[in-house]
Structure 1
Amino acid sequence: MVCADGSLSDGAFDEWLPSEPAIQYTTDHVAIATDPNECHSSGQSAGAGNESVRCWLLGDVYGYEAGGVGRSGGYEPRPADIDPAQYCLSLYERTGLEFLEGLNGNYTLLLYDRENRHFTLCTDRFGTVPVYWTRTDDDRIVFSTNVQLIPFHPDVDTAFHPAYLHEYLAFRRTFGVKTPLEGVEKLEPGAITSIGLENGSVRADQYWRPQYQPRDESFEWFVEEFTDRFRTVVDEWTHDDCEYGVLLSGGSDSRLVLAALDNATAFHMNDWMNREARIAERVALEAGAEFRLLERGADYRIGALERNRWADSFNGWFSQPYTSGFETEITSQVDGVLSGLYSDSLFGEYGVPSPNVSLGPLGSMTVPIERPVDSVDEYIDLLLETAADDLEMPTDLRTILESNIYRDGDQVVHHGVTYESLKDVVYYGDCYPLSNDDDMRFHSDLRRMLPYRSPFLDNRLLDLSLSMPPRYKLRRDLIGQAVTRLDPDLAAIPHASTGVSLSRSFPVEYAGEHFLEFWRKHVTKRTPPKPYLTDGPWLDDAELLRSFDFTGEVLEQRGHLADAFPGPNADAIRRLYHTHCHDEDRVGELYTLLTVLTMPVTAHLTDSETTDPNRAKPNASRYRQSRVIDVE
């Protein structure tokens, strides 16, 4: 914690956190509680050994480029034998906070200059390690990496914010710095947040924003540049004396990661040995990697309701820390893990809006041309098209969006985060900050489990994404062509979703994907062993809800919580579930509601029994450990 009134003591956390997290640092003004296994810490001394500057690093730092990554200063990877916190502290000593412009990594950095009474929190470019903060009535600042812990602090007074809860229920994510808790926000991405210890002031200055600047280069140039950068990123992070795992699917993103590694264990999560699993196994065998099937099934999915209750963010569903039930299997075999997360957002079609064309009884298809978005109102229309907004809510979703997304001169403000242009919002608003993406729970869970990296979040690849023309993202396959260059044999294996090899041209892939989808829906008579099983990477959640009444079980235990928060009450949720069971797909609404109802913070804020002053302390197990940082 950071405190402006000088009243902190060694017992600063006694009323808030259990005794397990070690209090690593406490002064009259600052107290930090962390898990030492998940937070790097370093200090430097002035004079006779008294520490003048202290540094804590959540996440990891990969390297530094003087003048900023992508400029001419010369990039240097962080030496593996130098602690990342000490590395950052040495850069800070040389350049002050200017070093952040060239710092490459996925991190949140805390700097406490005791002599000058400055406390600073620094986020990486995309805000990949979210930190949540609030101000107490006596002007203390409390912050944590787990948003659910903040309301349990004895001096924090909060409640559900109806508008932002509505957004979470509609989009299964919150945007920008907003959360569904009143007075609780996230740190801005790419920003330096300074807390004044004399007066409790909080000021955020962004040092980086995504600015789309397309390069007039051939697609082949981008393939070569991307492949070289990707191979460099993987080579720098991996070491001969460590064992690495890849979260392997039957698609192309994780296959590219495997192609860039010399040796790895391929972990494939699935519910049975279906077509997707067989493709993944074939890829692993071709790459010479050990194949490990992490078998899930209905019990694993339903069990996530309890297993992931303390997952920290209002982004995604209870099911989205996908690996949380396989921690022992993964950590006992490898020292680090890589994934292909965010390649579609940064280098694929997800980042570019495209029109969807209805084919009547045959379904629909996305046309690979860019849909123009020329105003903030059109961008809001685009968001509303993806919303699950059939819920009984006291707020209007369009009004909420219009109040939070607006122009400020030439810039656009989106839920407290500033973008240089509307184009930047359209292309990157779904992943900048990273908490705008509903897979944040998956990303955060991997980060807690063991050393983890998604190469696509390296600054050198982020920079390249900002220069890639939309036509290449929509009508070319950068990832598939990169696999072809790194390992043609892996590229020759069909993609599980298209049925054609990665080395084929985009028109063939596009036709193959839609033909295969048509074939599965209207021609083939193949039926999985259970109605909720599929031939793809995920089970059919719509059928899972119909096959097992875990919705009813949650409502029986926690329906009174729904009656107390600003959303649909228990009877409305039961009606929604009844509608779903009669063939109207309501997975989005139901899964988001189940996620909220099973969160401990919901009981804490709405149940009179748990809001008693003598309530039990939070027990967040592995989510409590995850680098809990608190500022008063």
Structure 2
Amino acid sequence: MCGFVGIASSKKLSSLEQEGILNRMSTAIKHRGPNSSGYIDTGFISAKFLRLSIQDLKNGNQPIHNETGSVSAFLNGEIYNHLDLRKELASLGHDLKSQSDAEVLPHLYEEFGIDFLSKLNGMFSILIVDRENKRSYLCRDPMGIKPLYYHITDDFFIFGSELKAILASELFNPTIDPESAIEFINSFYCSDPKTVVKDVLKVPAGTYIEITQTLEHSINPFYSFPHYKEGSTVAPNLEELENLLSDAVDLQLAADVPVGVSLSGGLDSSLLAKLATRSKRASEISTFTIHFEGTPDEEANNARDLATALGLSHNIFFATASHFLENAAYMTWISDEPIADPAFFAAQIVAEIASEEVTVILSGAGADELFAGYGHYKLSRRNALAEWVLRSDIPLSKRLLSSAFTDDTLRDLADYSSSRLPWHLRCTSNLTSNDYRQLASALGVVSSPFSVFEKAYMEATMVGPLNQQLYCDTTRYLRSQLLPLTDRTTMAASIEGRVPFLDHRIVDYAFKIDGRYKVEGGCTKKILKDLARKIGLPRTIIERRKLGFPNAVQEWFGGTASKTLVSVLLHPSSYSGEHLRPWVMEKLRTKKSIQHNWKSLYALFILNIWHELLIKRKQWTKPNFSLNNLFDI
């Protein structure tokens, strides 16, 4: 795991100017690569690399070149099948001199051109520089596990592994995009390819951008997300899934450094921990958990008990509201895009604890989206009964329903059998329709924040209704919130987060399965629960209710952190204080209102801190001050 930054320029820069730009950009992400750095300048592109050593600690520095030096490469991430690729390249006459997974890249490009990307099994953002043809390529892995951003001006193509590196170039004046701001408040994130900053974009997942020396560029997909007709396969084969997941875990445990597992006590991370004990590194693996004061003990106890049963070293950290407030400025700075996931702080603490013992940590991210783990993939008994009544067209019963449900809820349930999109939006949105109208009016926005979800549903019309929901969450929520969370929290602690469930073979396999096997009889994630029984996980883990990664933000905002929340949101120089004050004041009116609207308020809380740090103060280095100092409160 590493990071890189760079610029392609049509404007002649002095060496001093170029060095200053790259130094600012790389300083903003130095946590991503504390072990060594590398540099390349071809005349048409210059870039700097920061390395976190994982494979071949001695000889894996970058950039890495082919035999003639005509092709150079930077890699942020891991190529898990590099050993097989090395054998293939050796048979074709290539001379590889290290054991680094990155070394295969320039040779693969020399042999196969940019089509070599289809050969990779890994998580990656890659820079390829082709000196002979005077062109470069920015490439991002199929699932978007590793980040890559860019911004284009008249004179520069600016790129980097984090958004704040793009801002740190100081080659343009960044502003918040109002449309993206509303999407962020509604969803906690901005969907690919947009960011919260106007005209700063993400390289789309499964895509490469080709850049010429004159800054002409083209965006080209190399991976198509698998779409299979619902019912095109029989029931899932647990043996096949077990073999795929076991192999993915084994591949992702490969490293020349200590490894561990982020163990929440839930099903997904428990499956990874169990399968990890089959590897030859089983005796070396540590597990890590966080528990918040005032939250249920169930998951922390499950994690401890499972680690003990599996013979794995276990570490647990207990956090409070004071920890959260003390870390809020730094947490927001490392979140980068930003990301307002309420579990971000928990993931950050787990990564920091883990960094004391390991350099690689496995995460269960992706399992819920592939195998249907969330509650909105099914209707509760009450809602299912209402949906049946509406579908049955029983007039008297409809009148009775109107006294128990809102009109909006009944409308979305009436549409459920023909399209789950309205219900999906209801379950995954922080804003009501009325909230959206007020915010859109205040910010001068006319487009809908829900259009990205509508587009996802249209892209997946060939699959059944459940897999349509899964496709939407995989390509939006997972890709734009959970994976950036995993990347930023681990990288801030200078460790590498890996996600075995998102091995492309497992993704392809999961979307071949008819949706009716994933949620069965009201049981979500049925396939993974069956697999857990097969490999011998305890019933307490398999049958427990889903709690998600621990967070206590809602409780804190209703109590010990409420004063800070109000101060930040209504501060006259904050983003919401300047642009959204009437709406915010309405939501902060009572403790009950704060509790009811805590998600949208939390998103604004994070956006305010981020705006103050990175737009107004240009804080390119780690902040070492509190929220009180940041907002003078």
TM range (shorter): 0.7 to 0.9
Correspondence for 2:266 among 247, 251, 258:
251
Deviation at 1:458, TM superposition (A): 0.8
For residues 5-20 of structure 1, what are the structure 2 equivalents within 5 Å?
Answer: 5=10, 7-11=12-16, 12-15=18-21, 17-18=23-24, 20=27
Once residues 132 and 31 of structure 1 are traced to their aligned partners in structure 2, the CA distance between those partners, rounded to angstroms, is: 16
Task: Give the drift of 1:572.
Answer: 4.1
CA distance in 1, matches of 2:497, 2:572: 39
| Among 453, 466, 470, the residue aligned to 2:511 | 466
Amino acid at match of 2:472: G
Superposed displacement of residue 177, structure 1:
0.5
Q: Report deviation, 1:575.
A: 3.9
Distance 1:564-1:591 versus aligned 2 partners, 3 A rule: closer
Matched, 1:271 2:292: yes
For residues 1-59 of structure 1, what are the alpha-carbon distances to aligned partners after superposition, in whole Å with 9 as ceiling and x for unaligned? 33342514433141574485556222322111232336962433566xxx211100111
SS class of match (2:220): strand
The aligned residue for residue 124 of structure 1 is 141
Q: 1:413 to 1:344 in 2, by over 3 A?
A: closer
> Is contact 1:223–1:482 with CA below 8 Å preserved after alignment?
yes
d(CA) in 1 for partners of 2:187, 2:233: 36
Alpha-carbon distance between aligned partners in 1 of 2:548 and 2:502, rounded to the nearest angstrom: 26
Shift of 1:121: 0.8
Q: 1:553 to 1:193 in 2, by over 3 A?
A: same
- 2:481 is equivalent to residue 479 of structure 1: no
Change (3 A) 1:339 1:170: same
SS in structure 2 opposite 1:179? coil
Alignment match of 1:54 (pick from 39, 63, 72): 72
Which residue is equivalent to 1:498? none
1:141 aligns with 2:143: no
Query: Structure 2: 5+ residue runs without aligned partners?
Result: 1-5, 31-36, 54-59, 86-95, 384-400, 625-633
Listed one character per residue, the Cα deviations across residues 497-519 of structure 1 (whole Å, up to 9, x for unaligned) are xxxxx3xxxxxx5xx75xxx9xx
Residue of structure 1 in register with 2:627 after alignment:
none
1:143-166 deviation line (CA, Å, top 9, x unaligned)? 222213323432213311111111
Paired position in structure 2 for 1:546: 558
Query: CA–CA distance in 1 between the matches of 2:237 and 2:483?
Result: 28
Shift of 1:125: 0.6
Kindly indicate whether residue 3 of structure 2 is the aligned counterpart of residue 3 of structure 1: no
TM-score by length of 1: 0.76
Shift of 1:482: 2.0
Q: Are 2:321 and 1:305 equivalent residues in the alignment?
A: no
Does the CA-based 8 Å contact 2:261-2:288 persist in structure 1? yes
Greater helix share, structure number: 2
Indicate the residue corresponding to 1:383 in structure 2. Answer: 425
2:130 aligns with 113
Residues 235, 482 of structure 1: alpha-carbon distance in 2 compared, 3 angstrom cutoff: same
1:204-223 aligned at under 5 Å gives the runs 204-213=219-228, 216-219=232-235, 221-223=236-238
Answer yes or no: is 1:440 the counterpart of 2:483: yes
CA distance in 1: counterparts of 2:498 and 2:38, whole angstroms = 28
> 1:433 deviation in Å?
5.7
Query: 1:32 maps to which residue?
Result: 47
Letter in 1 for 2:506: L
Corresponding residue to 1:393 among 439, 443, 447: 439
d(CA) in 2 for partners of 1:266, 1:66 = 30
2:211 is the alignment partner of 1:195: yes
Alignment correspondent of 1:238 = 253
Aligned: 1:618 with 2:624: no
The one-letter amino acid of 1:481's match is D
CA contact under 8 A between 1:308 and 1:321: conserved in structure 2? yes
CA contact (8 A) 1:222 1:468 kept: no
The size of the alignment, in residue pairs, is 545
Equivalent runs, 1:514-525 vs 2, <5 Å: none
Residues 40 and 57, structure 1, Cα contact 8 Å, conserved in 2: no
Between the aligned partners of 1:536 and 1:432, the Cα distance in structure 2 is 20
Shift in CA distance, 257/564, structure 1 to aligned 2, threshold 3 Å: closer
Q: Would the aligned equivalents of 2:66 and 2:106 in 1 still touch at CA under 8 Å?
A: no
- Correspondence for 1:573: 584
Aligned to 1:316: 340
| Counterpart position of 2:574 | 562
Say yes or no: does 1:455 pair with 2:472. no
Root mean square deviation of aligned Cα: 3.9
Match of 2:64 in 1: 43
8 A contact 2:73–2:127 mirrored in 1: yes
The 3 A distance-change label for structure 1 pair 193 and 351 is: farther
Is the contact made by 1:352 and 1:427 (CA closer than 8 Å) also made in structure 2? no
Q: Deviations over 1:519-567 (max 9, x none)?
A: xxxxxxxxxxxxxxxx986244322112113553673598233357874
Helix, strand or coil: the match of 1:267? strand
Residue by residue, what CA displacement relative to the aligned partner does 1:253-298 show, whole Å, maximum 9, x if unpaired?
1111111122222211112582322222111111111221122222
SS of the residue aligned with 1:232? helix
SS in 2 for 1:60: strand
Judge which range, 14-23 or 252-261, deviates more.
Answer: 14-23
- State the SS of the aligned residue for 1:439: helix
- SS of the equivalent of 2:302 reads helix
- Which stretch shifts more, 260-269 or 346-355? 346-355
Q: Which amino acid letter does the alignment assign opposite residue 133 of structure 1?
A: Y
CA displacement at 1:231 relative to structure 2: 0.9
Counterparts of 1:588 and 1:564, CA distance in 2: 15
1:62-101 superposed matches below 5 A: 62-63=80-81, 82-101=99-118
* Distance of 1:433 and 1:81 partners within structure 2: 38
Q: Distance in 2 between matches of 1:85 and 1:346?
A: 29
Report if the CA contact (8 A) 2:263-2:287 is conserved: yes
1:261 aligns with 2:306: no
SS for the counterpart of 1:277 is helix
* Aligned residue type for 1:28: G
Q: What is the alpha-carbon distance in structure 1 between the residues aligned to residue 203 and residue 256 of structure 2? A: 36
Q: 1:343 aligns with which of 346, 367, 389?
A: 367
Change (3 A) 1:180 1:539: closer
* DSSP-derived class of the 1:148 partner: helix
Indicate the residue corresponding to 2:310 in structure 1: 287
1:224 is displaced (CA, Å) by 1.2
Distance 2:252 2:549 in 1: 28
**CA distance in 1: counterparts of 2:328 and 2:342, whole angstroms:** 6
Q: Is the 8 A contact 1:351 1:427 kept in 2?
A: no
Paired residues of 1:227 and 1:482 also in contact (CA < 8 A):
yes
Secondary structure in structure 2 of the residue aligned to 1:188: coil
Listed as ranges, the matches of 1:174-193 within 5 Å are 174-193=190-209
The offset of 1:210, in angstroms, is 1.2
Three-state SS of the structure 2 residue aligned to 1:24 is: strand
Contact 1:17–1:617 under 8 Å retained in 2: no
In structure 1, C-alpha distance between the alignment counterparts of 2:350 and 2:515, rounded to whole Å:
37
1:306 aligned counterpart, secondary structure: helix
The normalised TM-score by structure 2 is 0.76
CA distance in 2, matches of 1:58, 1:456: 19
Provide structure 1 residue ranges, at least 5 long, that are not aligned to the other structure: 68-78, 407-411, 496-501, 503-508, 518-534, 611-615, 623-632
Deviates more, 1:535-544 or 1:101-110: 535-544
Name the SS of the counterpart of 1:589 in structure 2.
helix
Question: Aligned equivalents of 1:373 and 1:157: distance in 2?
Answer: 48
Q: Deviation of residue 462 (structure 1)?
A: 1.1
| Identical pairs, percent | 18
Secondary structure in structure 1 of the residue aligned to 2:346: coil
Q: Which sits farther off after the overlay, 343-352 or 589-598?
A: 343-352
Per the TM alignment, residue 142 of structure 1 is displaced from its structure 2 partner at its CA by 1.0
1:53-87 deviation per Cα after TM superposition (whole angstroms, max 9, x unaligned): 110011111117999xxxxxxxxxxx996312211
Distance 1:181 1:309 in 2: 15
The alignment partner of 1:286 has SS state of: helix
